[in-house]
Structure 1
């Protein structure tokens, strides 16, 4: 009888717990842990697919979606076309490194992807893990002015800076996710931790830079922190190519569409991978700049040599005449 009781006890699994107890336990997990638990059994998968649980995770991860000023965006992002689980799966991990390959002549998939007609940016700035500024920005992408102008999104109005008293710029973290409400897809376009800190040459503000590399271009978000005034005076996103030229709105839309449709990469080393790709981009950009400078010097020397030969030939012709 004791052996039978031991056998019965050893066959007890976590799914033997009441469903409401399991659901309560799953709600206490973070996103990656909840996704891992849903892969264990069909019963846990059914419990882990609760939209309310994923919606709470999204609102906890990105407070901007719960801001009072973003109620309209929140309804279209977390209900209807965009499910909370899909949003978390798209926006939490970084785009896979395969998406960073430049477009070549044999791969025109990016050109065939439909362009988003509207972008919603959910921007959250954290200090030591606590959110200090949250914004949601809607950007219409249908105008010819947007498509042909350099891509830039400002999340903080210069006339209405966000308070940031007693913060250390090096300890600021940023989350910038871009969503396409029409397709229901999203992508993370910012490293959470800074990749570079600089001092503005004129204002003296600290510029904290966050970046990811997509399609051979650098998505760089800049947080300008005025330590004297205790304010975040700028939170903006811009895109540069490998030559340092600004990418147009249409080019950026194609990069975002490809990244939204591509795979994602999770794991513990997301930040290190983002920093490595940024450093590699900076080295490649510096190498291209130096190579261009050498070519320009070589062209100048050739032009000078040709000019000198032409002058000497003219002088010789005059003397020997």
Structure 2
């Protein structure tokens, strides 16, 4: 015969079975945090005091940086970000925020231009890494600052990571991080997804442009990937800068743009898709401004030509009248 058991209320049962994250062992929580992406890990910092303590561990952010950008594994780069990987991730992951006051005073720009730029370049095709390069560029020389701004990440001796695979250029995703080791600042100047895919009229190669994340004062920094005509394999990867008049800017002017976007704030995180769309729209607005400028120049030149023609005709008619009625 069963005996009566003590009555168990729902409140006492809930109290006995409720477990909060504070009750979990820190190692269990840490293993879970390792599975999060950057924005989610950053959000965890404001949840509880325990999560704040655990989610700020440097090794978590270093692992996240290396998994997001494989090019950072270079022995020259790794020590530079190991001291503060969380700060580096915050700088490099989100796109710069652009405002009217982004421009620095000329004197400060000239004094603070980076003397060395380190590039970490990663290209993915349909989620698979196909190109990863580390490039260190000396930017303090008069040769670099006087020449057109250009950083070449192409290694002609390196084999493609996916030999024999047909690549669709329009499905490439590119990350190009510029890092100033003197200031410890970084910025991703690529729009991640392509803003333009063009076919070269002479060679037949496909030219893919990634821009929009670094547009400042009528100048744009643009990563250009050239793919072969038949297989789509990456043949050339360069970083250039041009102004609204479609003229390549000098190395010094390009460094001023880099400095400006490095010092700019970062956009509030709204998701990758939203950021990429905003970067593309910024680049399209830059192109619209370029087109308006060309049309305005063409109208001015047309008016000037008409004025010169009218003056020439008036002079000719006056000379003719002088000869006839003399």
- Normalised to the residue count of structure 2, the TM-score between the two structures is 0.89
For residues 69-148 of structure 1, the aligned pairs below 5 Å read 70-76=74-80, 78-80=81-83, 83-98=84-99, 101=100, 108-109=104-105, 111-113=107-109, 114-148=112-146
Distance in 1, Cα, partners of 2:97 & 2:196: 22
- Structure 2 residue matching 1:288: 3-state secondary structure: helix
Q: 8 Å contact 1:116–1:180 — kept in the other structure?
A: yes
d(CA) in 1 for partners of 2:232 and 2:260? 38
2:25 aligned with 1:22: no
Measure the CA separation in 2 of the matches of 1:185 and 1:110.
20
**Equivalent-residue separation in structure 2 for 1:313 and 1:157 (angstroms):** 67
Q: Which runs of 5+ in 2 are unaligned?
A: 1-7
Q: 1:237-279 CA deviation, whole Å, 9 max, x = no partner?
A: 1111111111211112111112111111121210110111111
Separation in structure 2 between the aligned mates of residue 161 and residue 228 of structure 1, nearest angstrom: 17
Distance 2:16 2:200 in 1: 69
SS at match of 1:296: helix
Root-mean-square deviation over aligned CA pairs = 2.0
1:152 is aligned to 2:150: yes
Residue 287 of structure 2: aligned partner: 282
* Counterpart-to-counterpart distance in 1, 2:241 and 2:101: 14
Structure 1 102/300 Cα, relative in aligned 2: closer, same or farther at 3 Å? farther
Judged with a 3 Å threshold, the aligned counterparts in structure 2 of structure 1 residues 250 and 161 are, in CA distance, closer, same or farther, namely farther
What is the distance in 2 between the residues matched to 1:108 and 1:123? 27
Aligned to 1:260: 262
Could you tell me which of 48, 54, 61 is aligned with 2:61? 54
CA deviations over 1:121-149 (Å, ceiling 9, x no partner) = 10001011111110011111111111122
Aligned length: 309
Equivalent residue runs for 1:220-235 within 5 Å: 220-228=222-230, 231-235=233-237
